Structure 1
């Protein structure tokens, strides 16, 4: 498989080609609660503005600029985690946890998946999931597994919650607002989908754990390939001291403070980065690191994920090319016209499939909702499909391909922190994504047959 940069640059060139082939067009938009929502039925053709040779490369620069909040947040998280890790608190703490659990690796992995699934069941973690990846990696290392497991049990756990959005006030809330539905209405079918995806995901990951535990050679990628070190011995972690406990307690308090700020003050990327800088300084003081030592460790931690941070900007460049070429609205308009001619059942499935594919371009849940929901609502009304079914088709489609989309800045950030090449992740997660797709089709089909309200 080609490197992630090669894959995404190839997608970028495909996007450039579309600006020459697809007619330019746009819809009128109106601002609702600070978001630009498409007005259905206002599409009109405009003059084509294909991407120039220079624009291909300036879009990469612009992608880096636009993604700067996430890129720098990733670098800061890398530095902060490097500082906390340098104190020995995380490794010793995870080792103590494993000892208390009597080395029950299956229980610990399943518990981690459940924790992060429930967090996004109510829309808590969001972009902050990047911050938890190092903990997953360290747990996987201590359990003598591989980096794939470290990322999977955190990120895939989260996306079980994202894909169903049972009580997510942001993405589900926006979609239901556009569809003029009560907030969180129809939760019962989304809850059913949540448990089905959770069971499938847990089973898939635990079967992989069983396979590599029996035969480590079947591991897709080993720790020795990501950071040049083999599995450390338990003795190397050292005892879990009071100082270690204080470092971890301090870190947890900062994370709790951030989660509080998300709900009370709508904090986002910048605040998370600031919290992690404060956390790293506090951890350095508690861990008795000298000032120069703190700086050196922080920089080393940030350096380790520069590769992935740059990939985030390149992924953003794809969207910039399509937006500047004015072809996104044309794609949406062209997709929804033939849907109106399909039978009721097939039209609902087509809504799901469209969102599944469109999410490879617009990976932001709120961004996708603002573009496609204004079309799905009148289309659902015309076909006599309930609006709740349209929301379900959007939500499942939005969440499913986010676990594999190379254009997703968050996925690329997560893989950067975990030091996992995209090609290795693709090989691991593709079968699971196909299973999620089958579940999505089944759930939308059930919604149509039952008149889901």
Structure 2
């Protein structure tokens, strides 16, 4: 009798588990889209005047005025989705082209064979592999060359995680968190740090020594956290956040004894050479997303030629790879639609003005901390580094003068605020595309990322107060 009751209880619990499932990322973004629309009916419309003479139109301080705005209507709500897709077209097509090109490379097994060679040499030195991968990507992030490009390398992280029999979260984290450990501080990134300091009237890339110290703390904390998670799921596979389905079914199994032939070495060398050319182009010719898409087309076509792939087979493989990227590609556009609604409802500037009026009368330390917290939260809405700098830095720079702290501290507050919450913002096309490529839902990524984000925010808080204490200046 007791056995029967136990069985009935187990069946009942299983039914409850089946009845509840975490909402898909598309559902979460659609709910946020609805909330953004409702906000246009509650928050008054307003706008700052903007100086159009800069690379990005920048806000003119003390120019805020309330304007006659129109809340988002029924048709505008659905039109915003299409507009978001159009505005995010560069990222969307980049994701599709990356998917197609990687399918061509994967059909040759060149990357898989190269990574298996690396793994076989570091089989008993897993921590060394984690440190190496994260550090390499973080340096690229610190230099500002691997912000949007991080999407392209997620498949590499997945291959590493699959070879070590871990889970997709580890694969995404190795690449994404590696890159963002550097990008959160972005010491030499002209688009975020350089632009922000230029607006604040500071020497570009000044205070680099201090940013480098913060970067080291962020990187070390990320490596320790990733390795802690790896150890946790190795000791108990049930503790994997991904559950029983550790990888997307589209992620292929890797052969343990995959030979690293001469042809595969040539293909891998060609792949690295093309990426090196892109990196040089970023620094010398201001290359961006469109150039990256072009480079990946060159990679895909060149790989097919080297491997002597049949043209029809090339098209078949490329289209199949692009089809596998439809989910992350479209999610980028939906994330952008949220910003479209807030911009069309003219409430972003009102939010900034409201926060500025709260911070202005505060003491220096509390005011600077207020700037930091505001940027952390505002970045959930505007995830573009240059876009956020254009909106907040013209206000925060003079605000720093008023509350009695340095403008370098204000830029630092913007820097860390812009960088840290990029790792969880559902409005970030880069994040949503990266985790979708890895086959990780936003909810599961959030569960993984929140503890580390809290550590990053704590490190940033200490760094901010130290900067205030030492009166961190222009140099």
Q: TM-score, normalised by structure 2?
A: 0.92
Deviations 1:385-408 (A, max 9, x none): 100100110000000000000000
Cα distance change on mapping 1:140 and 1:380 into 2, 3 Å: same
Establish whether residue 389 from structure 1 lines up as the match of residue 409 from structure 2: yes
Alignment partners' CA distance in 2, 1:123 and 1:447: 23
1:362 has 2:388 as partner: no
Question: Of the candidates 65, 82, 99, which is equivalent to residue 86 of structure 2?
Answer: 65
2:163 to 120, 142, 166: 142
Superposed displacement of residue 230, structure 1: 7.9
Select 2:259's aligned residue among 239, 264, 281.
239
Which structure 2 residues correspond to residues 417-432 of structure 1 after superposition, within 5 A?
417-432=437-452
> Are 1:157 and 2:178 an aligned pair?
yes
Specify which of 338, 359, 363 is matched with residue 339 of structure 1.
359
Equivalent residue number for residue 322 of structure 1 = 342
Which residue among 118, 133, 140 is the counterpart of 1:119?
Answer: 140
**CA deviations over 1:18-39 (Å, ceiling 9, x no partner):** 1100111101001243210000
Q: Deviations over 1:60-101 (max 9, x none)?
A: 011011111100100100110011001011111111111223
Q: Is the 8 A contact 1:224 1:230 kept in 2?
A: no
Distance 1:162 1:232 in 2: 31
- Distance, in Å, in 2 between the alignment partners of 1:416 and 1:248 is 25
Superposition deviation, residue 169 in structure 1 = 2.3
In the TM superposition, residue 103 of structure 1 has moved relative to its aligned partner by 4.2
Shift in alpha-carbon separation, 1:285–1:188, aligned structure 2, 3 A: same
Paired residues in the alignment total: 451
Tell me, yes or no, if the aligned pair for 1:121 and 1:166 is still in contact at 8 Å. Answer: yes
Residue of structure 1 equivalent to 2:295: 275
Which aligned pairs between 1:159-308 and structure 2 lie closer than 5 A?
159-221=180-242, 225-227=247-249, 232-235=254-257, 238-308=258-328
Q: 3-state SS of the aligned residue for 2:405?
A: coil
Paired with 1:309 and 1:176, the residues of 2 have a C-alpha distance of 33
Contact 1:136 1:150 in 2 (8 A): yes
Matches of 2:238 and 2:261 in 1, distance apart?
Answer: 35
Task: Check 1:228–1:313 CA distance in 2 against 1; reply closer, same or farther (3 A cut).
Answer: closer
Contact 2:167–2:246 under 8 Å retained in 1? no
Equivalent-residue separation in structure 2 for 1:415 and 1:82 (angstroms) = 18
User: Tell me, what secondary structure is at the counterpart of 1:234?
Assistant: coil
Separation in 1 of the partners of 2:260 and 2:245? 23
Task: Detail structure 1 runs of 4+ shifted over 6 Å in the superposition.
Answer: none
Q: Work out whether 1:30 is the aligned partner of 2:59.
A: no
Q: Could you say which residue in structure 1 is the equivalent of 2:396?
A: 376
| CA distance in structure 1 between the aligned counterparts of 2:154 and 2:247, rounded to whole angstroms | 18
1:445 aligns with 2:465: yes
2:190 & 2:69 partners in 1: Cα distance?
38
Larger radius of gyration: 2
String of CA shifts for 1:168-219, please: whole Å, max 9, x gaps: 2221001110111111211222111111111111110000111112222222
2:147 is the alignment partner of 1:129: no
User: Could you tell me which residue of structure 1 aligns to residue 455 of structure 2?
Assistant: 435
| Helix, strand or coil at the partner of 1:226 | coil
Q: Which runs of 5+ in 2 are unaligned?
A: 1-21
- Show CA shifts across 1:91-126 (max 9, x none): 111111112234422211111111111112121222
Distance across 1 between alignment mates of 2:297 and 2:331: 23
1:224, distance to aligned residue in structure 2 (A): 5.2
Compute the displacement of 1:225 (Å): 4.4
Contact conserved, 2:112 with 2:254, CA < 8 A, in 1? no
Q: How far apart, CA to CA, are the structure 1 residues paired with 2:472 and 2:113?
A: 50
Q: Find the aligned partners of 1:158 and 1:43 in 2 and give their Cα distance.
A: 36
Q: How many Å separate the matches in 2 of 1:57 and 1:367?
A: 24
Write out per-residue CA displacement over residues 349-401 of structure 1, whole angstroms, 9 at most, x where no aligned residue: 00000000000010000000000001101110011110010011000000000
Deviations 1:404-438 (A, max 9, x none): 00000111111122122111111111111111111
The alignment's TM-score, normalised by the length of structure 1, stands at 0.97
Distance across 2 between alignment mates of 1:385 and 1:223? 50
Q: Is the 8 A contact 2:168 2:247 kept in 1?
A: no
Q: Given the alignment of the two structures, is residue 9 of structure 1 paired with residue 30 of structure 2, yes or no?
A: yes
Q: CA RMSD in A?
A: 1.4
Moved more, 293-302 or 386-395: 293-302
Q: Indicate conservation of the 8 Å contact 2:166/2:246, yes or no.
A: no
**What 5-or-longer segments of structure 1 have no aligned partner?**
none
CA distance in 2, matches of 1:33, 1:137: 40
